[in-house]
Amino acid sequence: MTSTVIILVVGIVVVLTAVYVSWRAGRLDRLHIRLELAGQALEAALLQRRSTVLLMAGSRILDPATSLMLATAAQEARIAGPEERERAESDLSRTIRAVVDQDRFREKLAEAPGGADLLEELDAAVTKVVYSRRFHNNAVGVTRTAQQRWLAKTLRLAGHTDFPQFFEIDDDPPKSMATE
C-alpha cells in the first residue's frame, strides 16, 4: 500500500520534472533561434551600411577627399578580423557622422542627380544598424541569463552553442538625421 503510494508520488515528481525541464529547454531553444535571427539581421544591416557608403563614395557626386575617406572606412570595416570589427564599424560610424554633418552637406547632395536617393538609403542603413544592434544585444542578454541558470548549466540544455557575445560599437547616427 505505502509502496504503491511512494511509487505513485515518485512517478508524478518524475513526470513533472520532465515537463519542467523540457519546457525550460524549449524556451532556451526559442531564445537561441531569436538570437540567431537577430545576429543575421545585424550582419545584414552592417553589410547594407558598408555597401551604401561605398556606393556613395563611388557616386562621383562627392569631392574626392570625402569619397576616399568613406571608401577607406567601409573597406576597413569589411576586411576587419573578429577582434577588430567593433573598432572598425565604430570608425565607420564616426566617418559617416563627420561627412554628413558638414555644413550644407545634405542640401548639396540632394541637389545632385540621384543624391536624394543616396541620402535616403544611407539614413535607412544607419538607422537599421542602430535598431538591429539593440535587438541583437537584447537577445544576447536574455540568452546569457537563461544559459547561466543552474538547471541549464547542470543539464547542458544549451548543448554546444557558444556563450553569446554582445556587439558593442559606437553607432550614433549623424546629428542631422531626420528624427531624434
Partner 1 sequence: MRIGIVCPYSWDMPGGVKQHIDDLAQALIAQDHEVSVIAPAADDDELPPYVTGAGRAIPVPYNGSVARMSFGFISAARVRRWVRDGGFDVLHIHEPLIPSLGVLACWAAKGPIVATFHASFSRSRAIAVAEPLLRSALEKLHGRIAVSDAARKSLVEQFGGDTVLIPNGVTVARYTEAEPLDGWGPDGSTIGFLGRVDEERKGLPILLEALKSIPDAKLLIAGPGEVKVPKELRDRVTVLGMVSEADKIRAYHSVDVFCAPNTRGESFGIVLAEAMASGATVLASDIPAFRRVLGEGQAGALFRNGDPASLAEEARALLEAPERRAKLAAEALVAVRKYDWSTVARDVVRVYETVTAGGAGRVEEDA
Burial classification of residue 34, based on how many CB atoms lie within 10 Å of its CB (0-12 exposed, 13-18 middle, 19 or more buried): middle
# residues near partner 1 by CB under 8 A: 26
Of the candidate spans 27-35, 51-59, 84-92, 106-114, the one that interacts with partner 1 by CB under 8 A turns out to be: 27-35
From residue 94 to residue 133, what is the string marking binding to partner 1 with x (rule CB under 8 A)?
------------------------------x--xx-xxx-
Of the candidate spans 82-90, 91-99, 106-114, 137-145, the one that interacts with partner 1 by CB under 8 A turns out to be: 137-145
Task: Indicate whether 178 belongs to the interface with partner 1 (CB under 8 A).
Answer: yes
Task: Indicate whether 85 belongs to the interface with partner 1 (CB under 8 A).
Answer: no
Least distance (Å) between residue 81 CB and partner 1: 23
In terms of CB distance, is 8 or 142 closer to partner 1?
142
The single residue among 22, 141, 153, 170 that binds partner 1, judged by CB under 8 A, is 141
Q: Is the dihedral of CA 48, 42, 102, 107 positive or negative?
A: positive
From residue 33 to residue 62, what is the string marking binding to partner 1 with x (rule CB under 8 A)?
-x--xx-xx--xx-----------------
C-alpha grid cell, residue 64: 574626392
Distance CA(177)–CA(88), nearest Å, equals 22
Task: Indicate whether 27 belongs to the interface with partner 1 (CB under 8 A).
Answer: yes
Binding stretches for partner 1 (CB under 8 A): 27, 30-31, 34, 37-38, 40-41, 44-45, 124, 127-128, 130-132, 134-135, 137-139, 141-142, 178-180
